[in-house]
Structure 1
């Protein structure tokens, strides 16, 4: 039987490094199975935003915890970071914390890359560059003195000397059929986010993942199906709704935010939305049973690793409430 896991999304766009670290430690104490951190150079909004360096933060989290799985959701190995640097950093993390580290990767956002002088390319180019980066990382983890001549990256007798004793799983994100099929074919796990309508998952994304898994000659249970489930839980409904406003950018259409490179502009667009729009991507309720019922929909679709993203400023309150009122009910289901 496939193991079902429940994790916590540590939002580095919203909290300073030390505060966020304390929340990661608290997640383990409250019974969560994993902690995944975003990887941003710049946050979704300028005022009150943060962007601690994910790889450094993961090292600190590993040192402060004992059992949780931890990783990125998601890191972009194509512009800010050369894929060889990503391979080296996660090999080190995997050596320090065996069987506890996951490398989650995606094709990126303009706002994280363009401020460093990157000319943000079209999606087809980003995807091709991403696939090549994944190949580079895998080769560096499995071979010594790697020479590689790609369209975007070149290696000349490169070696990662401190490889972990057990492989670091690679999880790949995808929001369209091509990237999702690739995630199923090349990844140890698949990452997507909730709140986009059931048909997208059941009719497009999950079939594409399964096709990719079949092409890799593996079984569905060989790939961890991870989804970030956006939840706002509070005993006060007004507070649960209002908490979603910090994450108003999630209520924007892909067309509205695709090429936005400035957190100030992203913030302006998000703040113009009504609260009903900022809340639409979240499960917002004061009722634990309603949360469980709506989360169960994702379990029924076939997701096996649910990572909860709460939007509110009081994450300690969220972790305590979810740990006491929601997680036991979810574990009873599985």
Structure 2
């Protein structure tokens, strides 16, 4: 069975709106909800960036059933891994065991704000691996001292440890990151429906297996732009998500919304529509989402682009779209 999720997009909605959307998404029947964790939006037009962990704490109290997840948190620069360990343990308690900690190597857009240098990818991955070690150690509830290459922890202990352990989902994008992080993770995170990621993950010694009774989930995410007309959807997607056309290799290193505006100035609505299903045709959206479960993904989170039509999407389109997705995936 494929699980379908709803994305709490902190870059495009305020904190109270996000909590309200989370409640409605649960009532509609989404299986899980993921939250982005940014200090800045990609574009000025998006206009928001509330603190994701505060929002998730409120969502944990405002919902009862839906699974929760960060998609994803960088535990290396803006946050020290000891703090990530503490707040993820707390969120697991508040949500009664419904939380998964999604982790990744980060983007300059969010991490540069604390005034530290933005390291290259290899160093960021080294930092992430060490951060995972710190988080795992602290989640035991034991007293931890750690003197590593990138982080120090002195006589630290998580005093409120949940009975249900916090599982870690790691964002990967290629062979090297899969080999590095699959043995350290409980689940896979990716933003492209690449079946090779899943097969490579399953081929790594010590990695939890995805599919065929394995315990690991492969969790993907796809932006969509539902609107009453295709033209309105294309306009909205271009306004809010033209940054998406840059790809991870570009987006990870741009430091400001102004940088994303410059990098995306020649992206057209047609360019965006090639990557994001736009319009009222739910069958077309289902066709695009199906690439994930055909690639072996167990979970897919939908991103409805923009706040302007978010409430209308939830009121009019989300329930029939879920029905179609579940029928197609079955």
Same fold (TM over 0.5): yes
Q: 1:30 to 1:174 in 2, by over 3 A?
A: same
The CA deviation at 1:258 is 4.0
Residue number in structure 2 paired with 1:277: 271
The CA deviation at 1:240 is 1.7
The CA deviation at 1:219 is 5.9
How far does the alpha carbon of each residue in 1:105-125 deviate from its partner, in whole angstroms, 9 at most, with x for none?
100001111122121111000
The partner residue of 2:207 within 194, 206, 216 is 216
The CA deviation at 1:217 is 6.2
Query: Does the alignment pair 1:289 with 2:277?
Result: no
The CA deviation at 1:11 is 0.7
**SS in structure 2 at match of 1:39:** coil
Residue number in structure 1 paired with 2:309: 314
How far does the alpha carbon of each residue in 1:129-170 deviate from its partner, in whole angstroms, 9 at most, with x for none?
000001100011125111222111122332111000111111
Residue number in structure 2 paired with 1:325: 320
CA distance in 1, matches of 2:208, 2:299: 22
Shift >6 Å, 4+ stretches = none
CA distance in 1, matches of 2:69, 2:210: 23
The CA deviation at 1:253 is 4.2
Q: 1:138 to 1:322 in 2, by over 3 A?
A: farther
Alignment of 1:118-137 (within 5 A): 118-137=116-135
Alignment of 1:257-276 (within 5 A): 257-276=251-270
Residue number in structure 1 paired with 2:108: 110
CA distance in 2, matches of 1:96, 1:324: 27
Residue number in structure 2 paired with 1:138: 136
Alignment of 1:1-334 (within 5 A): 3-194=1-192, 201-203=194-196, 205-212=197-204, 214-216=205-207, 218=209, 220=211, 221-245=214-238, 246-254=240-248, 256-312=250-306, 313-332=308-327, 333-334=329-330
- Where does structure 1 lack aligned partners over 5 or more consecutive residues? none
The CA deviation at 1:269 is 2.6
Q: 1:276 to 1:52 in 2, by over 3 A?
A: same
The CA deviation at 1:262 is 1.4
CA distance in 1, matches of 2:220, 2:150: 30
**SS in structure 2 at match of 1:25:** helix
- Conserved in 2, the CA contact under 8 Å of 1:173 and 1:192? yes
Over aligned residues, Cα RMSD in angstroms? Answer: 1.8
CA distance in 2, matches of 1:231, 1:209: 27
- Conserved in 2, the CA contact under 8 Å of 1:251 and 1:280? no
CA distance in 2, matches of 1:164, 1:286: 43
The CA deviation at 1:286 is 2.9
TM-score by length of 1: 0.91
CA distance in 2, matches of 1:21, 1:257: 27
CA distance in 1, matches of 2:182, 2:250: 29
CA distance in 2, matches of 1:172, 1:222: 14
Pick which of 158-167 and 218-227 moved more.
218-227
**SS in structure 2 at match of 1:8:** strand
- Conserved in 2, the CA contact under 8 Å of 1:183 and 1:189? no
